[in-house]
Amino acid sequence: MRSLQWVKSSYSDGQGGECIEWAPAHAAVTGSVPVRDSKRPTGPVLVVSPQAWSGLVALARSADV
C-alpha cells in the first residue's frame, strides 16, 4: 500500500494537524478505500468500504470547526 498515490484531505489544516490522506485511484479500481495519517506515511493504513468512507466524510462535514 505504500506505492499508492495518496491525496491529502481538504479538511487537513496544512499546519501538521488533523492530516489524513486517501487513495482514490485504488478505491476506484478495488472498491476499498485506504486511509492513513499523512504525518506517518510508513505507519498503518486503515481500509474501509466506500459506504464507511462516505460516513466519515459526512461526519467531517458536519463537525463544528
Instruction: For residue 16, count other CB atoms closer than 10 A to its CB.
Output: 9
Is residue 65 over pLDDT 60? no
**Residue 33: inside a domain, yes or no?**
yes
How far apart (Å, rounded) are the C-alpha atoms in residues 24 and 63? 23
Quick one: average pLDDT of 6-24? Answer: 76
| pTM for this predicted structure | 0.77
Is residue 16 over pLDDT 60? no
What is the band of 13 on the pLDDT scale with cuts at 50, 70, 90?
low
If one compares 11 and 57, the residue with the highest pLDDT of the two is 57
Tell me the residue range of the domain where 32 lies: 7-62
Instruction: Mention every residue, 6+ apart, whose C-beta is less than 8 A from residue 52.
Output: 33
> What Rg do the C-alpha atoms of the chain give, in angstroms?
12
Q: How many independent structural domains does the chain possess? A: 1
**Residue 2: inside a domain, yes or no?**
no
pLDDT in tens, 18-35: 688 999 999 999 999 999
